[in-house]
Amino acid sequence: MTTIQIELPDATAKAARAAGLLTPQALDRLLTDALKRQEAADSLLSIADRVAAAGIEPMSMDEINAEVKAARAERRQRGQVS
């Protein structure tokens, strides 16, 4: 285990404490989620760079929405709600 000491504005610390966010479990969850989001963003940016280098045309928002709807429909068919 690692002990970390941080400085927060009093109002932020008070609100976080009241919301139950200053417990080791809550902070672990928050940091783990932030790390996952950062990893996903890095992966997406890496893919975007490769797509741009390959000269692939960007998708329109309508095309993106259609792909998202299709993926959600497929998950629903497999019993995985998104």
On whether residue 5 sits in a domain, the answer given is no
On whether residue 30 sits in a domain, the answer given is yes
Domain count, the chain: 1
pLDDT digits (tens, 9 = 90+) for 31-62: 999 999 999 999 988 888 888 889 888 889 99
Q: What is the 3-state secondary structure (H, E, C) of the chain?
A: CCCCCCCCCHHHHHHHHHCCCCCHHHHHHHHHHHHHHHHHHHHHHHHHHHHHHHCCCCCCHHHHHHHHHHHHHHHHHCCCCC
On whether residue 47 sits in a domain, the answer given is yes
On whether residue 3 sits in a domain, the answer given is no
pLDDT higher for 12 or 44? 12
Domain carrying residue 29: 10-77
Whole-model pTM above 0.75?
Answer: no
On whether residue 4 sits in a domain, the answer given is no
Distance CA 69, CA 82 (A): 10
On whether residue 46 sits in a domain, the answer given is yes
The pLDDT of residue 11 is 98
The pLDDT of residue 80 is 65
pLDDT higher for 51 or 21? 21
